Each structure stands twice: as C-alpha cells, then as structure tokens.
Amino acid sequence: MKVLVIGGDGYCGWATALYLSNRGYEVGILDSLVRRHWDNELGVETLTPIALIQQRLQRWQDLTGKSIDLFIGDITNYEFLSKTLHQFQPNALVHFGEQRSAPFSMIDREHAVLTQVNNVVGTLNLLYAMREDFPDCHLVKLGTMGEYGTPNIDIEEGYITIEHNGRKDTLPYPKQPGSMYHLSKVHDSHNIHFACRIWGLRATDLNQGVVYGVLTEETGMDELLINRLDYDGVFGTALNRFCIQAAIGHPLTVYGKGGQTRGFLDIRDTVRCVELAIANPAQPGEFRVFNQFTEQFSVGDLALMVKNAGNAMGLKVEINHLDNPRVEKEEHYFNAKNTKLLDLGLQPHLLSDSLLDSLLNFAIKYQKRVDHKQIMPKVSWHRN
C-alpha cells in the first residue's frame, strides 16, 4: 500500500512517515519545508536539533534498508501536486501539510490570510486532484478537536442526531472554533464533506486533540531521526511547553484560570491512529470523522502534574496564572466522545509519571538550546 504523507517533515508528519515505513507501507513525503522557514522568520528553534530532511531520510535508509521518496513543493501549487500524485500513485493520502498554530494565525491580518489560504487552498487542490485522477484514493486529513469549541453539551464524533419540530436528522456537529487557524480546519471539513457527498470521494477527518511527547520507536532510533519539540509561545503546545519550562526553572505559563479543558494524546498514539484510519478506509462517498484523543485534562491540572513530577525529580517548579492572551472560556463543560478509534483497536498510551519523567529528562538534556525570551506568549486575541 502506497501512502503519501503530506507535511511529512513536521512534528506529527515525520513520526507518522517513519512509523508507516517501519510497518511495511511504501511511504512518500511531500513537504514544502515552509515550517522551517516560519521558525527562521519568528527567530525560534525547536528544542531538539533537527537534521535536514534529506539527511533524515538517508539515515533512515541506512538503518532500516527502507527508502522514503521525497517530493519538495507546495500543494497550493496544483501543477506540482498533480505531477507528484501521478509519479507516486498513492492509495492513501495523509494530510498534515497545514499551518497548525493558533497563535501564528492570530498575529495579524497577513498571518490569518496566510493560514486560511494555505490550508484551505491546499486541501481544495488535493480534493480536485483526487476527483480528476485518484477518485478511489482515501484521504486521511488532520482536523482538530478545536473545530467544535467548548459547547455546553457532549461533543459527538462529527455528527449529531437532532429532533426538531417532530422531525429527526443526523447532521454535522455545530462548530465554534477559537482561532483563525481552527476556523481554517472547519472550512476544510466542509469542503471535504462536500467532495464526498457530491463526487463520491472517500475521506476520514481526524479531529485530533493536543499532542504531547517526542519519542516514538522510530524517531528514537538515532540522533539524526530526532523529532522537533516546540516550546515557544507560537508553536509550542501546552504540555510540551510546561515540561520544558519546568526543566529550565521557568514558572509554568497557565493562561488565565486554567480550567480550559482539551483532549490530549501521546504522539505514539497519533501515528497508530493514522495507521488505523488507513487500514480501515472510509467507503466511497463517506466523510468519516474520528475524534483523535485519549484523555481530557484542564491546563491547570496538567500544570499540577508537571509540577509534581518535576518536584519528584528535585526540580523547583512554580505555576503562574498569566493574563490570558486568548479569548476562550476558562471554566466550562467538556465531554467529548472518542470511541471510534478505540473500536478499531487503538490501545492508548495514557499520560503517566514515566512519560512526564522522560519528557522532563529530554528537556533537561537539551535545555542549553532554550531561548528564554521565546517562552512568554506575545500574540494576543484581544482587539487592543
């Protein structure tokens, strides 16, 4: 089975490409490498030193004998995309190739437009390329739990059955995203759903929660295969940031009250979830939605867990409640379903003391690379 991983040079994409290659899939990576460019523009570097994509792939081949084809280019360029698909002939497309940071999308108008054009046009191009020449190919698209927002009712997996004035229907679950980035994913979901309904394409939208961790079996094999681990205020995400902050003695940056609750998962489960989706494809015409997370936590609870784990290792860890740079509910109901991937056989790696220890130790190992100026959030959702 041939799988093209779009965005295969990024945090989730790199881990997934190696995992699938190790499991015997024929893997190609398509990536524009723009994420490395955005790091340069923002003046930030991931905690871990990441090798050039070509060196990474050479090392993978030397270690395992498995080769991964590389296509460098941008899927917003339809000609490049179409040429690549014809060359590679994929059976499944795994699409991580989007601008994925909420703060980045909220910097200013330019970054909002960049995010939405990049994400929506890239995915639209994919849908048209599939419609033209690869109508049977299965699209596995990374969506986000943030598409739903934080409604005061249970969150279902993509659809909700509603009774209204004596009639009943199962309809797309209402969306109330919290950033221009999260909105771009909602727009994608609508476009993909349309392509499935009208053209009979098949797709799975993986509404992923916040990913944490850095090691997978494959990326841990060699220093040159090491994954990125972002800690800065733009691309760093909650738990990873807290561990790195604890390791360098920076107070943990809880935004506001800290009751913000989200779905979380270990990166070792991200790669497995993608494989489960590929191995059990959607039917022609089906737009399938899986909620891809394993546990729910509030950011305040996560900060406490990191503080306790850090204290146990002899680190002094403080928790700071900062003025929230985002506009979001800080105390709210949150109960999201996540049974579909479990039904397909996902065995979650739940957040444990040993994972926190390993992440903290990882952060301590690379602490010299941390630029302390990049920790505090600088992007505000507020009007002024």
Ligand X SMILES: O=c1ccn([C@@H]2O[C@H](COP(=O)(O)OP(=O)(O)O[C@H]3O[C@H](CS(=O)(=O)O)[C@@H](O)[C@H](O)[C@H]3O)[C@@H](O)[C@H]2O)c(=O)[nH]1
Reduced DSSP (H G I as helix, E B as strand, rest coil) percent helix, strand, coil of the chain, to 5: 40, 20, 40
Helix axes 353-365, 299-312, angle to 10 degrees: 70
Quote the least distance from Cβ 127 to ligand X, whole Å: 20
Helix axes 78-88, 109-133, angle to 10 degrees: 40
Residue nearest to ligand X according to CB distances in the complex? 146
Tokens describing residue 229: 């681990």
Quote the least distance from Cβ 218 to ligand X, whole Å: 21
Q: Which is nearer to ligand X, 75 or 302 (CB)?
A: 302
Quote the least distance from Cβ 346 to ligand X, whole Å: 17
Q: Which is nearer to ligand X, 7 or 263 (CB)?
A: 263
Quote the least distance from Cβ 383 to ligand X, whole Å: 18
Q: What's the one-letter identity of residue 253?
A: T
Q: Is 29 helix (H, G, I), strand (E, B) or coil?
A: strand
Footprint of ligand X on 91-120 (CB under 6 A): 100-102
Per rule CB under 6 A, is residue 145 in the interface with ligand X? Answer: yes
Cα–Cα distance, 263 to 144 (Å, whole number)? 10
Q: Is 54 helix (H, G, I), strand (E, B) or coil?
A: helix
Q: Which is nearer to ligand X, 92 or 375 (CB)?
A: 375
Quote the least distance from Cβ 198 to ligand X, whole Å: 27
Per rule CB under 6 A, is residue 244 in the interface with ligand X? Answer: no
Per-residue mark of binding to ligand X, 293-312 (x: CB under 6 A): ------x-------------
Q: Among 45, 103, 101, which Cα is nearest to 377's?
A: 103
Mention every residue, 6+ apart, whose C-beta is less than 8 A from residue 147. 175, 177, 182, 185, 186, 189, 207
Q: Which is nearer to ligand X, 10 or 281 (CB)?
A: 10
Considering only the stretches 78-86, 259-267, 306-314, 338-346, report the one whose residues sit in contact with ligand X under the rule CB under 6 A. 259-267
Quote the least distance from Cβ 384 to ligand X, whole Å: 19
Q: Which is nearer to ligand X, 21 or 261 (CB)?
A: 261
Mention every residue, 6+ apart, whose C-beta is less than 8 A from residue 126. 6, 75, 81, 93, 95, 139
Q: Which is nearer to ligand X, 106 or 126 (CB)?
A: 106
* Distance set, CA 208 to CA 264, 273, 292 (Å): 8, 10, 4
Cα–Cα distance, 139 to 142 (Å, whole number)? 10
Question: Catalytic amino acids?
Answer: 144, 181, 185
Identified binder of ligand X from the candidate list 25, 71, 96, 255, rule CB under 6 A: 255
* Distance set, CA 381 to CA 68, 115, 299, 324, 370 (Å): 40, 15, 18, 9, 25
Footprint of ligand X on 322-341 (CB under 6 A): 326, 328
Helix axes 238-248, 353-365, angle to 10 degrees: 60
Considering only the stretches 58-66, 165-173, 258-266, 307-315, report the one whose residues sit in contact with ligand X under the rule CB under 6 A. 258-266
Quote the least distance from Cβ 275 to ligand X, whole Å: 20
Per-residue mark of binding to ligand X, 172-211 (x: CB under 6 A): ----------x-------------------------xxx-
Identified binder of ligand X from the candidate list 116, 204, 216, 260, rule CB under 6 A: 260
Q: Which is nearer to ligand X, 5 or 145 (CB)?
A: 145
Q: Binding residues for ligand X, how many (CB under 6 A)? A: 22
Tokens describing residue 161: 């059955």
Cα–Cα distance, 301 to 310 (Å, whole number)? 14
Q: Which residues bind ligand X (CB under 6 A)?
A: 100-102, 144-146, 182, 208-210, 237-238, 241, 253-255, 260, 262-263, 299, 326, 328
